[in-house]
Amino acid sequence: MKIAVIAAMSEELAPLRNFFPSTMVWRRGKTIIEEVHANLYLVESGIGKTNAAAMSAWLCEKIKPDLIINTGTTGAFQSDIPLGSVIYSPTFLYSDVDATGFGYKVGQVPQMPAQYPVDEALLQKTATILKQAEIDAREGLIVTSDSFMSDLSAIATIRQKFPTIVASDMESAAIAQVAHFYQIPVLNIRGVSDHVGQEAPETFEATLELAANNAFASVKVLLDAWG
């Protein structure tokens, strides 16, 4: 199985780079694609939906992976989730897309699916592998926005629109939308770097390394099982 592991920032990809020696195969702007071997690629996408989508299109066209794993950090919407915890999402959707005036659902890009669910069999395999490895990871809804979640009014709006939300990131739904065109499955496995709110930026800086390392531990277990 050919797998591509994507993280937005060098700090998020660092644990994988430190473990897997790799060779750069493509670089454009903030995007770097590295080959570990013929069946494993590491990708630094750059931050945000546009960087993630542009990178995903090139990756799907040129590398043609069988599976994409998006990893890195995430901001938790629930204060009882410990920093450094690992969350994997059962589906992908946007929290900052609203075309409801035309009859679309909140988070749905016009003329596109309302969301991009992970195949149930793949989700179950992921849960089983992580549990067998005694990795403390939980399933929960991670939504995607172009905003870092520190503004209280924006956070309150998102909570109202998505009552089951667990966390937020800035790339995963864009990756899933592009991968949908190519019928390539995507997993999103992230470490909690902060709790959303006014203190989130400072907490993120302090917890980034812990969250990235814990996410890497989960991804490594999956790579060992599928690589």
Read off the pLDDT of residues 66-96 as tens digits, 9 standing for 90 and up. 999 999 999 999 999 999 999 999 999 999 9
Q: Are strands 31-37 and 40-44 parallel, antiparallel or unpaired?
A: antiparallel
Q: What total number of domains does the chain contain?
A: 1
* Residue of 34, 169, 171, 194 marked catalytic: 194
Sign of the C-alpha dihedral computed for residues 205, 144, 124 and 82 taken in this order: positive
Predicted pLDDT at 77: 97
Return the structure tokens found at 21: 């020696």
Predicted pLDDT at 29: 86
Residue 151 annotated among the catalytic residues of the structure: no
* Closest among 47, 33, 31, 4 to 169, alpha carbons compared: 47
The angle formed by the CA atoms of residues 110, 116 and 120, to the nearest 5 degrees, is 155
Is the model's pLDDT at 145 over the cut of 90?
yes
Is the model's pLDDT at 22 over the cut of 80?
yes
Is the model's pLDDT at 61 over the cut of 90?
yes
**Per-residue confidence at 135, pLDDT binned at 50, 70, 90?**
very high
Mean pLDDT of 162-171: 98
Mean pLDDT of 45-73: 97
Q: What is the mean pLDDT of the chain?
A: 97
- Which helix (H) or strand (E) is 97 found in, with range? none
Identify the three-state secondary structure at position 114. Answer: coil
**Amino acid identity of 213?**
N
* Residue of 12, 34, 44, 171 marked catalytic: 12
Is the model's pLDDT at 227 over the cut of 90?
no
Sign of the C-alpha dihedral computed for residues 152, 154, 159 and 160 taken in this order: positive
- Residue 134, Cβ density class (10 Å: 0-12 exposed, 13-18 middle, ≥19 buried): exposed
Q: Are strands 165-169 and 141-144 parallel, antiparallel or unpaired?
A: parallel
Read off the pLDDT of residues 24-37 as tens digits, 9 standing for 90 and up. 999 998 899 999 99
Mean pLDDT of 121-137: 97
Q: What CATH number is associated with residue 88?
A: 3.40.50.1580
Cβ-Cβ contacts under 8 Å for 68 (sequence gap 6 or more): 3, 4, 5, 6, 56, 59, 175, 179, 184, 185, 186, 187
Share of the chain above pLDDT 70, in %: 100
**Contact call for residues 65 and 55 (beta carbons, < 8 A):** no
The angle formed by the CA atoms of residues 54, 89 and 154, to the nearest 5 degrees, is 75
Return the structure tokens found at 31: 């995007």
Query: In the chain, at which residue ranges do the beta strands (DSSP E only) sit?
Result: 3-7, 23-28, 31-37, 40-44, 67-76, 86-88, 91-92, 116-117, 137-139, 141-144, 165-169, 186-195
Mean pLDDT of 47-73: 97
Can you give the residue range of the structural domain that contains 13? 3-226
Share of the chain above pLDDT 90, in %: 98
Residue 194 annotated among the catalytic residues of the structure: yes
Phi then psi for 133, rounded to 5 degrees?
A: -85, 5
